[in-house]
Chain A
Amino acid sequence: MDQNTFKPPTISPASDRSIMIQFNAEISEYIHQQVHFYSTFLLEFHEDKISNLSPAYNSILIRLKEGVSLWRTIAKLKQLFSENQEIKVTAKKKIKIPVCYELEFAPDLARVASLTGLSIEQIIHKHTTGKYLIYFLGFSPGFPYIGGMDSNLETPRLESPRTNVPAGAVAIGGKQTGIYPIQSPGGWNIIGRTPLTLFNWSQVKNPALSMGATIEFTSITKQEFLDDQESLF
């Protein structure tokens, strides 16, 4: 997908108080740049209509403020996207994340191994050599959806989500990999844990893990994990 094949997004009601802006059904850096640009733009210039905005891989969900008309807002958004906007791409922040992949912190590593046919060493190698991009934050406070995972690591989500995933858990869900910044429920396969603190309420407006940043995972031992408990803030 590039400039020449880009199609304007489809815009439709998601509920009677929310609107879904859907770009091409693909996870790509090109689409991400569109989502990033328009999310920032909408938050900045349409604050009066939007109570909440959730960007994702290829979509933006908008929740309307009280009293704002659903259909009129859809019409306005359609007009906005029909005008050719020049997408501005900002420089990427780079973040290093140490991860301990030892079994104690990786309850689903064996499941990922059996479903992918890879050895545990191969999984760790592939997971630490990937080039990752934070596509967006969602799910729970500060949770980064990270793209760029080796497709050989693709593993289906758990049939039934866990009620408690510990803070710092690093996981694989389908084609995606992620980190749980706070303890929360979750349906992804847990393959390791980082000792870093990744979410802080006082930094919400400028989070350490932010949309558009790039990430590098490095493998650490359990001893290093215990020595390395610090905050990214």
Chain B
Amino acid sequence: MKITVVKQGFQDLVQDLGRDGYTHVGISPTGAADKVSMKIANLYLGNQINDAVLEITLFGGTYLFDMPTTICLSGSQFPTTIRGNEVPFNKPITIQKGEALSVGGSASGARCYLAVQNGFNVADLLNSRSTHLMSKSGGFRGRNLQKEDQLAFNEPEKKYFPRERKFPIDYNRSVIRATLGLQHSLFDKPTQALFFSKEYTVSHQSNRMGIRITGPKLHKRTYEDMITEGLPLGAVQVTGNGDSIITFVDHQTTGGYPKIANVIAADMHKVGQLRPGDVFTFELITMDKAETLYLVQEQLFKQ
């Protein structure tokens, strides 16, 4: 059971919830860029929440199925068809042997997720099937899918799909909420105020390691380098020339740039949907509020 790539997408990657447990040897967890959408795609199929999915970025490809199965797409809306018929998102869809799924270019955010019943089938690497691009490992041969690649999926089974569930997720990526970062006090109050009020634009140089954003340049009070330390997911690092980078899923595990802010866990899926040219502002919230929002979001995905 497999899909064959008939037409290659921009960056199709096999991902799951990530490879936790190895940042102390320098291995970042990676995993889906928008874990919320990835979970939703799996839940609509009655899959395990961590089953491997295909992450499709900016524009997708055409994938030929050699066996019938059930699929589900979630995340940003990409125009998607089977035999010329539009495929709805967030709904289990049956696809027949010999049919091809065509995914076009996104009209909204950066990513959508293709889940198949019981998940895609690639080898485990340290308990995860996520692609680790930096080391060209994990997932499907450590890289994005290319034309003529064949990606196996697991055998579907006869089953009832879960009753249609609603997931009230905020995908508005024009406001991204953040808490103060560990080194916010290295920046004076007016600089912090600048950061939390001005618009930022997502740069074309962004990738899964970091979302580079352009906006006001931020300057520290002193020129002294800080001591390198662990990097939290979503940390907004300020480089030596005053540019900001949002630490993302494939990030380096430690870094020496000061962190002015940190995107809250409950908004990380929005970061996964940011695309070059997007304009947004950061909204400062408290750590307590951030944790509450995280717990509320987690509750939505209880199986």
User: Could you tell me the distance in whole angstroms from the C-beta of B36 to the nearest C-beta in chain A?
Assistant: 13
Is A89 on the interface with B (CB-CB < 8 A)?
no
Q: Are B225 and A57 in contact (CB under 8 A)?
A: no
Q: Are B22 and A204 in contact (CB under 8 A)?
A: yes
User: Could you tell me the distance in whole angstroms from the C-beta of B191 to the nearest C-beta in chain A?
Assistant: 19
User: Could you tell me the distance in whole angstroms from the C-beta of A112 to the nearest C-beta in chain B?
Assistant: 15
Is A143 on the interface with B (CB-CB < 8 A)?
yes
Which residue in B126, B209, B229, B265 is a CB contact (below 8 Å) of A17? B265
Is B156 on the interface with A (CB-CB < 8 A)?
no
Tally A residues with Cβ within 8 Å of B: 56
When distances are taken between beta carbons in the complex, the residues of chain B under 8 Å from A51 are: 20-21, 29
Is A173 on the interface with B (CB-CB < 8 A)?
yes
Q: Mark B174-196, 1 if CB is under 8 A from A, else 0.
A: 00000101100000000000000
When distances are taken between beta carbons in the complex, the residues of chain A under 8 Å from B240 are: 156-157, 159-160
Q: Are B26 and A174 in contact (CB under 8 A)?
A: no
Q: Are B225 and A174 in contact (CB under 8 A)?
A: yes
Q: Are A66 and B298 in contact (CB under 8 A)?
A: yes
Which residue in B134, B225, B294 is a CB contact (below 8 Å) of A140? B134
Q: In the complex, how many residue pairs between chain A and chain B have their CB atoms under 8 Å apart?
A: 163
Is B139 on the interface with A (CB-CB < 8 A)?
no
Q: Mark A57-95, 1 if CB is under 8 A from B, else 0.
A: 111110100110111000000000000000000000000
Q: Are B135 and A52 in contact (CB under 8 A)?
A: no
Which residue in B23, B132, B181, B239 is a CB contact (below 8 Å) of A54? B23
Q: Mark B224-263, 1 if CB is under 8 A from A, else 0.
A: 0101111111110001110000000000111110000011
Q: Are A70 and B291 in contact (CB under 8 A)?
A: yes
Q: Are B294 and A137 in contact (CB under 8 A)?
A: no
Bound together, the chains give a CA A140 to CA B125 distance in angstroms of: 17
Bound together, the chains give a CA A160 to CA B210 distance in angstroms of: 14
When distances are taken between beta carbons in the complex, the residues of chain B under 8 Å from A173 are: 256
Is B24 on the interface with A (CB-CB < 8 A)?
yes
Is A168 on the interface with B (CB-CB < 8 A)?
no
Q: Mark A20-63, 1 if CB is under 8 A from B, else 0.
A: 10100101000000000001000100000001111111111101
Chain B binder among A8-16, A116-124, A223-231 = A8-16
Tally B residues with Cβ within 8 Å of A: 49
Q: Are B25 and A142 in contact (CB under 8 A)?
A: yes
When distances are taken between beta carbons in the complex, the residues of chain B under 8 Å from A166 are: none
Bound together, the chains give a CA A136 to CA B293 distance in angstroms of: 33
Is B112 on the interface with A (CB-CB < 8 A)?
no
Nearest B residue to A42 via CB reads B24
Most buried by A among B20, B23, B232, B293: B232
When distances are taken between beta carbons in the complex, the residues of chain B under 8 Å from A25 are: 227
Bound together, the chains give a CA A39 to CA B225 distance in angstroms of: 24
Bound together, the chains give a CA A201 to CA B125 distance in angstroms of: 8
Bound together, the chains give a CA A140 to CA B27 distance in angstroms of: 6
Q: Are A56 and B290 in contact (CB under 8 A)?
A: no
When distances are taken between beta carbons in the complex, the residues of chain A under 8 Å from B228 are: 56-57, 138-139, 145, 176
Is B296 on the interface with A (CB-CB < 8 A)?
no
Given A16-B291, A18-B232, A176-B228, CB of A43 within 8 Å of CB of B27: no
User: Could you tell me the distance in whole angstroms from the C-beta of A23 to the nearest C-beta in chain B?
Assistant: 10
When distances are taken between beta carbons in the complex, the residues of chain A under 8 Å from B48 are: none
Bound together, the chains give a CA A71 to CA B294 distance in angstroms of: 14
Is A129 on the interface with B (CB-CB < 8 A)?
no
Bound together, the chains give a CA A14 to CA B29 distance in angstroms of: 17
When distances are taken between beta carbons in the complex, the residues of chain B under 8 Å from A18 are: 230, 232-233
Q: Are A57 and B227 in contact (CB under 8 A)?
A: yes
Is A184 on the interface with B (CB-CB < 8 A)?
yes
Q: Are B24 and A63 in contact (CB under 8 A)?
A: no
Q: Are A182 and B134 in contact (CB under 8 A)?
A: yes
- Closest 6 pairs (CB-CB, A-B): A61-B230, A54-B230, A138-B254, A16-B290, A15-B262, A15-B232
Binding site for B on A (CB under 8 A): 12-18, 20, 22, 25, 27, 39, 43, 51-61, 63, 66-67, 69-71, 136-143, 145, 156-157, 159-161, 173-176, 182, 184-185, 199, 201, 204, 207, 211
Given A57-B227, A138-B23, A138-B252, 20 further pairs, Cβ under 8 A: A14-B182, A15-B264, A16-B266, A17-B233, A54-B254, A55-B230, A56-B228, A56-B230, A56-B254, A61-B229, A61-B230, A63-B232, A63-B233, A70-B287, A139-B254, A141-B134, A141-B135, A156-B240, A182-B134, A204-B126
